Structure 1
Amino acid sequence: MSEDYNEKMHELNASYKQVFGAVGDTGAGFRQLHADAVAGGALDAKTKELMAVAVAISIRCDGCITDHVCNAVKAGATQEEINETVKVAIMMSGGPGVIYGGKALAAAKDFLANK
């Protein structure tokens, strides 16, 4: 069940470029929403990305897990912080959180190794 999350991130970026290029203002609006939502404020960007990881696990979105774990690591998240985030996701989503939490841990391992 091994995956190359760096390659998955590359594929996601290509997909984003294609989708956002095709949907015009909707894509631009979504990118602005994303940038505003994760910008530092009362919570820093790392904390917000870790929150997004927990939600991504809970809603079972592979691409979201890859993207937000990558962004959390870029924002300075440690393996321990990602482990804690997975704990919260498991608490909120039960068994599926275990399966998708494993994906988040694997992604973190890849991204932290290539930081």
Structure 2
Amino acid sequence: MAKSYKDIIADTSSNIAKLRKGIPETMQGFYALSGAAGKAGVLDEKTKELIAMALSVAARCDPCVGYHAKALVKLGATRAEVEEMLGMCVYMGGGPSLMYAAAAIAAYEEFGGEKAPA
């Protein structure tokens, strides 16, 4: 059965909500770090999300792939941009990164990103 990244991030978000109640200060700190790191500066938000997706592929983190695929679609990343970034992932990470690059492009499509030409 194929993975559904929408389901993965829905389940993960539900569990993160539990952590927000149990360890609120830690979670506030994490979200502050996330906001500060992701904010546009010398690099724009889309570039930072492309980097985050590359790191998600390298770490083989399914929820991370889902969250960053969704963000890339929202930020208007083109399929060509995502594919070029995934090419660097494969180059740097070999076969395991190729498997997650395939998953990342599927997640990008699942969240409404551009489909591959027929």
Residues 1-115 of structure 1: matches in 2 within 5 Å? Answer: 1-112=1-112
Q: Which has the larger radius of gyration?
A: 2
Give unpaired runs (5+ residues) of structure 2. 114-118
Hey, what's the Cα distance between the residues in 2 that align with 1:19 and 1:82? 31
Specify the code of the residue in structure 2 equivalent to 1:112.
Answer: G
Secondary structure of the residue aligned to 2:10 is: helix
Q: Percent identity?
A: 34
How many aligned residue pairs are there?
113
| Offset, 1:84 | 1.0
Specify the code of the residue in structure 1 equivalent to 2:34.
Answer: H
Preserved CA contact (<8 Å) 2:54 2:89: yes
| Offset, 1:32 | 0.7
| Offset, 1:98 | 0.5
Specify the code of the residue in structure 2 equivalent to 1:68.
Answer: H
Offset from partner CA, 1:53-108 (integer Å, 9 cap, x none): 00110111111111111111111112111111111111111111101111101100
- TM-score under structure 2 normalisation? 0.88
